[in-house]
Structure 1
Amino acid sequence: MKKFAVFGNPIAQSLSPTIHQMFAKSCGELIQYDKIEAPLDAFEDSINHFFADENTVGCNVTVPFKERAFAMAQHKDAAVCLAKAANTLMLNPQGELCAYNTDGIGLVADLNNSGLTLAGAKVLLLGAGGAARGVVHPLLSAGVTTLHILNRTVEKAQAIVNDANNQHVTAVSQQALLAQYDVVINSTSASLSGTLPAVPDAILANCQLAYDMVYAKDSGSTVFMTHAAKLGAVQQLDGLGMLVEQAAAAFAIWTGKQPATAEVIEYLRNR
């Protein structure tokens, strides 16, 4: 049986085992997928022990270990190099650790599922942490022509711009914002504490889609989504679809099979 796991600390809340078991069933794969709470001071040892099993295929990595997973890998793709953090690991045939970041792939897939056209779109990204870093490369690959990053510390946003080295990405202040964006993406964790990111109301009022990378666990709407809806944003979406889509991208990397996601998203929504 093929073995997989998700590593984090804490990890009890993870939906990954449910998601990947549903993928496996739909794709005809028999898998074992565990949650592993790695000690904060022994993550690398935990990963090495996990991959020492000949049945192990790959794993997911979540907070606070994504940067350390990136550092462990011998092979890294373009998205993971810009993110400087990995959420997916696997061994190649030579036994070398390969790192990927599928968060941005998941975001782009979920935005496409919403009916939005990213080619030529103007996007405002709120925040400049690891979550923001992870989605820049896939958004650019999807054809976004304007990607503005708004962060309280402009220097942090500028660091992402410098690493991206792409004319379509710019760090902006509130005074330099456009009058209208197609999508406003909240990559901050503000919704987890019931607060809002610092963005002018007019920006949310004029956008087609207000997207919160945090997913709504109970009410169906995050603080950011509710605020955007009241201001007049045409559509609001949380990050549950992104969570499932990034998992689907990881599953495809490991197995070569692309699972359907709509039923999984619907199941988790109604759970």
Structure 2
Amino acid sequence: MKHAAVIGHPIAHSRSPQLFARFAAASGIALRYDAVDVPPERLEATLRAWRANPEFVGCNVTLPHKKRALALADRADESARACGAANVLTRVDGALIAANTDVEGVEAALAQAGVALRGARVAIIGTGGAARAVAEAARRSGAAQIAVAGRGAERAAALAAAFGGRACTLAAVPLSDIYVNATPVGMDGGPQHSLLPADAPGNATAFDLIYTPERTPFLNDASARGMRTVTGTAMFLAQGAATFARWFGFAPKELPV
């Protein structure tokens, strides 16, 4: 039986085990997929053990490990290098290859909602690995403007500079066509308030990367203003399918509804 996992700290909120169980069953693959809480000080040792396991195919990576996972990988593809973060590691001949399928997930979620990144003004709220994936999707899709807002001015400035954007404070996000919440605010068990700017126009789109819950304060706030909303579920499914394809060489036979 093949073995895979999702690692993070905390990790109890993850729906990845259920998603990959469905993918594996539909595709005829015997797969054990675990949610593993890995404190930062145990990340290197955990990955070392999995490198040595021939049944291990790879792992999804979530907060707070995305940047460190890239550094600990043996090789990285273009998506991970561009983002400076990895959300998936694939074991190939005892080596761990880093990738970032979050970029594909962002693009797919917006495309499914009929929202174009090309020519759009994109405001990203957050400065972590997920925010970098949004910035890379916006950059490579031809967004007209990329703004990055975060509590830490230095981190926001560094992220914006890496993707040809500009940094701003949470209180001064420029008018945009697409507003993205790339922070944990609104996730089950965390702070519950909206980070959507007060002057966000009603004809804009609000996209929350959180998928637990599906309807967050950010999206509820946007809906109340008449904005189009995009949930994190579409991104979650798309990045999961892209991850499965990296591990097994083909897309899952069935996508969950």
TM-score by length of 2: 0.87
SS at match of 1:191: coil
Q: Compare 103-112 and 123-132 and name the one that shifted more.
A: 123-132
Distance in 2 separating the partners of 1:80 and 1:65: 13
How many residues matched? 253
Unaligned runs of 5+ in 1: 267-271
Is 1:224 matched with 2:218?
yes
Q: What SS does the aligned partner of 1:205 have? A: coil
1:19-98 matches, within 5 Å, as 19-93=19-93, 95-98=94-97
- 4+ runs of 1 displaced by more than 6 Å? none
Q: Can you list the C-alpha shifts for 1:178-208, whole angstroms capped at 9, x where unaligned?
A: 4xx3311111222231122262x2224341x
Q: Aligned match of 2:238 in 245, 250, 253?
A: 245
Partner of 2:192: 194
**Contact 1:7–1:62 (Cα < 8 Å) also in 2:** yes
CA distance in structure 2 between the partners assigned to 1:69 and 1:152 by the alignment: 24
Give the letter aligned to residue 135 of structure 1: V
The 1:176/1:246 distance shift into structure 2, 3 A limit, reads closer
- The answer to whether the Cα contact below 8 Å between 1:104 and 1:139 also exists between their aligned partners in 2 is no
In the alignment, which residue of structure 2 is the partner of 1:110? 109
Q: TM-score w.r.t. structure 1 length?
A: 0.83
Tell me how far 1:223 sits from its aligned partner.
Answer: 0.6
Q: Which residue of 2 aligns with 1:210?
A: 206
Q: CA deviation at 1:228?
A: 1.1
Kept in 2: contact 1:149–1:170 (CA 8 A): yes
1:241 is matched by which residue type in structure 2?
A: A
Identity %: 34
Assess, with a 3 A threshold, how the Cα gap between structure 1 residues 129 and 59 changes in structure 2: closer, same or farther: closer
Q: Deviations over 1:19-64 (max 9, x none)?
A: 1121122333332212222344222111211231211111112222
Q: Which residue of 1 aligns with 2:180?
A: 185
Letter of the 1:19 partner, please give it: L
- Are the aligned partners of 1:106 and 1:246 in contact in 2 as well (CA < 8 Å)? yes
| Backbone CA RMSD of aligned residues | 2.3
Contact 2:73 2:98 in 1 (8 A): yes
Paired residue type of 2:98? A
